[in-house]
Structure 1
Amino acid sequence: MKDAKKQTFDAIIIGSGQAGNPLAFALAEQNLNVALVEKGKFGGTCVNTGCTPTKAYVASARRAWEIKNASDLGIPNPKLDKIDLQKVKERKDKIVAVSHNGLVQGIRKEKWINTFQAKGYFLDPTTIQAGSAILTAPKIFINVGTRPRIPDGFEDVNYLTNESLLELEELPDHLVIIGGSYIGLEFAQIFRRLGSKVTIIEMSDRLISKEDPDISDRMRKILESEGINVLCNSHCLEGKNNPNGGLTVLMNCGGEKKQALGSHLLLATGRKSNIDLINPLAAGLEVDEKGFMQVNDLLETSVKGIYALGDCNGKGVFTHTSYHDFEVLKNQLFGNKARKVSDRILNYALYTDPPLGRAGMNISQAKKSNKKILYAEMEMSQINRAREKDETKGKMEVIVDASTEQILGATVLGIGGDEIIGVFLTAMYSKMSYKTLMNSVQTHPTVTELIPTLLQQVKPLKSES
């Protein structure tokens, strides 16, 4: 392979994810010869094993839940037969195939994009080995994403990840999930609603520990109300395969040794960057202590001509942040060079039911800031639309800078929270006074009409040193 002739391009992109793909097309529009290297499926995590397939499962689980709870709305409760997971998977696979195949067709049609289906890694700062091919270019863009982190003590256990769980064709009898954060909670509710017993094991003293304690507590109650067993303060020691099938997780729960037996084990303990797979040292690239590629506000690495986009740079772990990385880089390459990574406001959603939407600061962060804060919260049970739908769990809260009157953050845990958070986010990006939104007339009956009422109730919040 060392004697292979180098193929020269204007740019090389390693990874076909939500930043790499649009970048390839943007470069091609400029008549630049692009090499797109992908070791797996084109489309990256979001299309193949992330957003698209998991939200398809969320939808199936929601339908099952609606049937089971139809009598609560005056509809005789129909019989729900055992869920056929194979049918659920087939639906998911069709949805994924549409996105994947459409992307591949678009790439194949573009004459300026050359694809290499192989693992790509650096030989030097301008050279990439991709299978048997050796590629060189003055600009290299890294979009290699992340992979599931496997904790010590579970390497030899028959475990599942978010990727392999989506390939099951029979429902687990009892799904044990290690990790009480976003991925773990979504799958917990999905499989509980589809008919599996579910146990969540979390090392922290509460679920989704990056959220405020009240939000964490509410989320736990929501999951437990559906029959999900939650074990926090559980310091997992090891996992063992059982001789007759299934597995056992041994743990230390608040000083008391316990164990959980299940038929299947999902490891949802976070993700790690794939940077280590591309031989960064050969290019002289700097990686931080967590393994993410270090980049500046313009996504440049420490080596001239090399950039890192998407989850692998640690600047964001969502599809929307990956795509924004692409937009920043496109602006820097072909635009007015005004956009940068720090322009964006933190926002994301947890797709449990009800969902959680977050934008900007939460209360804990606001209390530690030096700003004069106005704050308000309201229960979802106070909104007519939620009561009419009989989905009143959760609350809505907002944080305002008293000096500028701008909204600094909002949290919506409740029906439609993943969509409603966009109203706050729009106000934040436009830097409008909260009073403008407070005085707006929202459509009735909707959940969004709670926002003006919420903003009318903001009061000073004491800060913490």
Structure 2
Amino acid sequence: MKEFDAIVIGAGQAGIPLAKKLAKSGMSVALIEKRFVGGTCINDGCTPTKALVASARMAYLAGTLSEELGVDIPSYKLNFERVMARKNKIVGQFRAGSIKGLEATENLTLIYGEAKFVSDKVVAINSSTGDVYELTAKYILINTGCSPTVTKIEGIHEIKYLTSTSILELDEVPEHLLIVGGGYIGLEFGQMFGRFGAKVTIIEHSDRLLPHEDEDVCGVMTDIFKEEGIEVITQSKVTKFEKYGADRIRVTFTTSDDVQTRMCTHVLLASGRSPQTGNLGLENTAVTADDAGFIKVDDYLQTAVPNVFALGDVKGGPAFTHISYNDHLIIADHLIHGKKESIKGRLVPYCMFTDPQIGRIGITEEQAIASGVAHLVAHIPMRNVARAIETGETRGFMKAVVDKNTGLILGATIIGEQGGEIMTVLQMAMMGNITYSQIRFAIFAHPLYAESLNNLFMSLDA
């Protein structure tokens, strides 16, 4: 058995920087990765999907927006092979950069293999070379992330279904893509492949798309998707898949009124992600998990076992790369500098990269109402934003929830071109305790999107 100061299981967006920081502090560190360095973000998530979103937006600009802007593009041709090659090149660059940084770090040993706990502080490694051996360490950090959930639906294993991982390896655009799930993953892929030329149907079991967002957000996004020719079906549950001929799939689903079917060529399961803890051997430890398999941690990311921590998606909660990265900062400060910072109450910004984007921070209007806090809601449609009109990007709106008594911003949702960037301006205001009145009268460069934050909060003057 080989002993290290720290073992990091999973080379994701928390595991990589944490392993490097611990090693640079003088600790001996083993970083174990069973698949690809970079985790979901680089290999199956942010990097490849945003590269594809860029190609899809170019198709939209050429095929739709160009006419409004007075540029006549009679026709264009999508080269899907080149689209995917570009995506693969970018993923390869990011992954190679991560590996290079790890290999150049002293005191750090990168091990390819699958880790399984033998006891609280002993981990068995089934390496990619076929060797099996055990490691132990004072600190063990779990960053194994999540993988797509395969929903238990009749006939699912009789068809060649797609997940958010496998859809990234398609070599042609589906003729008709049916998506099960109307959340962030389903909407990003739905719009993307619709712009690539696929017919797209989205089936969501809730009464609206994006059920965790305000109703007006869902309404705007539903209208946008329908304008782009995407079929949106809500309050419906998929109950059965059947092969139909050589290359068709029949999908049966129940609505509030009856039972319906749709024929398609491809099915994407986009109804959630599950923690990768099933093969981790937690049953051999005192580490506890909830019924879904997410590892339970305290406000300082420590599990039920002292000095065993969980970071990123595997612990549940907001499943975003930037949250994983912040997790690693908290643990690094604790292990290296003795600081103890809590994850409780931290701001959670996020952006959905549909077109237009949805950027969100803090609480929603519906959450403010439910909590009973005295609040005001500032709202301005993008069609009244100068920059949006000038660029032809008038879909969406800006909305902010503010505390009626203090004037502080409690949350914001931005639907629009560069919605995430606009949201971040309001996030900075929340971090600095800047009131909406200060933003209302601030000087912003003209004619930025951010300048219309003046107008957004002017809506509260009445």
Alignment TM class, shorter chain as reference = over 0.9
Amino acid at match of 1:135: L
Paired with 1:444 and 1:258, the residues of 2 have a C-alpha distance of 52
1:143 maps to 2:138: no
Alignment of 1:130-169 (within 5 A): 130-131=125-126, 132-153=132-153, 154-169=156-171
1:127 maps to 2:122: yes
Q: Cα offset for 1:60? A: 0.2
1:20 maps to 2:15: yes
Paired with 1:88 and 1:183, the residues of 2 have a C-alpha distance of 19
Task: Pick one of 62, 75, 82 that aligns with 2:71.
Answer: 75
Match of 1:463 in 2: none
**Deviations for 1:68-125, whole angstroms, at most 9, x for unmatched residues?**
12111111123112x2211111000010111100111111122311122111110000
CA contact (8 A) 1:67 1:78 kept: no
Report the secondary structure of 1:160's partner residue: coil
Paired with 2:246 and 2:116, the residues of 1 have a C-alpha distance of 42
CA contact (8 A) 1:182 1:350 kept: yes
Task: Pick one of 175, 180, 188 that aligns with 1:186.
Answer: 188
Paired with 1:256 and 1:11, the residues of 2 have a C-alpha distance of 57
Task: Pick one of 367, 370, 374 that aligns with 1:368.
Answer: 370
Q: 5+ unaligned residues in a row in structure 2: which ranges?
A: 127-131
Amino acid at match of 1:72: E
Report the secondary structure of 2:283's partner residue: helix
Task: Pick one of 39, 45, 49 that aligns with 2:40.
Answer: 45
**Deviations for 1:16-71, whole angstroms, at most 9, x for unmatched residues?**
00000000000011111111111110000000010000000000000011111211
Task: Pick one of 88, 113, 119 that aligns with 1:118.
Answer: 113
Q: Cα offset for 1:226? A: 0.5
Paired with 1:215 and 1:340, the residues of 2 have a C-alpha distance of 31
**Deviations for 1:325-374, whole angstroms, at most 9, x for unmatched residues?**
01111121223625321252121111100010000000100001232112
CA contact (8 A) 1:331 1:338 kept: yes
**Deviations for 1:366-419, whole angstroms, at most 9, x for unmatched residues?**
001232112111101001111111111111111111222211000001121011
Match of 1:246 in 2: 248
Paired with 2:237 and 2:257, the residues of 1 have a C-alpha distance of 9
Please give the root-mean-square deviation of Cα atoms over the aligned residues, in Å: 1.3
Report the secondary structure of 1:277's partner residue: coil
State, as a whole percentage, how many aligned pairs show the same letter. 38
Amino acid at match of 1:109: A
1:345 maps to 2:374: no
Paired with 1:442 and 1:52, the residues of 2 have a C-alpha distance of 31
Paired with 1:26 and 1:403, the residues of 2 have a C-alpha distance of 43
1:357 maps to 2:359: yes
Amino acid at match of 2:67: S
The TM-score normalised by the length of structure 1 is 0.95
Match of 1:109 in 2: 104
Q: Cα offset for 1:447? A: 1.3
Paired with 1:85 and 1:259, the residues of 2 have a C-alpha distance of 29
CA contact (8 A) 1:375 1:459 kept: no
Q: 5+ unaligned residues in a row in structure 1: which ranges?
A: 1-5, 461-465
Q: Quick one: structure 1 residues 336 and 282, their matched pair in 2 at CA, closer, same or farther if it must change by over 3 Å?
A: closer
The TM-score normalised by the length of structure 2 is 0.96
Amino acid at match of 2:98: L
Amino acid at match of 1:74: G
Task: Pick one of 206, 209, 213 that aligns with 1:207.
Answer: 209
CA contact (8 A) 1:8 1:135 kept: yes
Amino acid at match of 2:123: I
Paired with 2:214 and 2:423, the residues of 1 have a C-alpha distance of 17
**Deviations for 1:278-317, whole angstroms, at most 9, x for unmatched residues?**
0112111111122211111110011111000001111320
Paired with 1:429 and 1:148, the residues of 2 have a C-alpha distance of 33
Paired with 1:434 and 1:181, the residues of 2 have a C-alpha distance of 30
Paired with 1:241 and 1:7, the residues of 2 have a C-alpha distance of 51
CA contact (8 A) 2:300 2:340 kept: no
Match of 2:260 in 1: 258
Amino acid at match of 2:399: E
Q: Cα offset for 1:185? A: 0.3
**Relative to structure 2, which stretch is displaced further, 283-292 or 207-216?**
283-292
Match of 2:331 in 1: 329
Amino acid at match of 2:110: T
**Residues paired across the two proteins, number:** 454
Q: Cα offset for 1:240? A: 1.6
Paired with 1:292 and 1:431, the residues of 2 have a C-alpha distance of 34
Match of 1:3 in 2: none
Match of 2:129 in 1: none
Report the secondary structure of 2:254's partner residue: strand
CA contact (8 A) 2:22 2:336 kept: no
Q: Cα offset for 1:255? A: 2.6
Match of 2:85 in 1: 90
Report the secondary structure of 1:8's partner residue: strand
Report the secondary structure of 2:165's partner residue: helix
Match of 1:29 in 2: 24
CA contact (8 A) 1:202 1:234 kept: yes
Paired with 2:338 and 2:295, the residues of 1 have a C-alpha distance of 26
**Deviations for 1:2-25, whole angstroms, at most 9, x for unmatched residues?**
xxxx11110101000000000000
1:412 maps to 2:407: no
CA contact (8 A) 1:374 1:459 kept: no
**Relative to structure 2, which stretch is displaced further, 403-412 or 180-189?**
403-412
**Relative to structure 2, which stretch is displaced further, 183-192 or 243-252?**
243-252
Amino acid at match of 2:378: A
CA contact (8 A) 1:376 1:459 kept: no
Amino acid at match of 2:394: T
Paired with 1:216 and 1:43, the residues of 2 have a C-alpha distance of 32
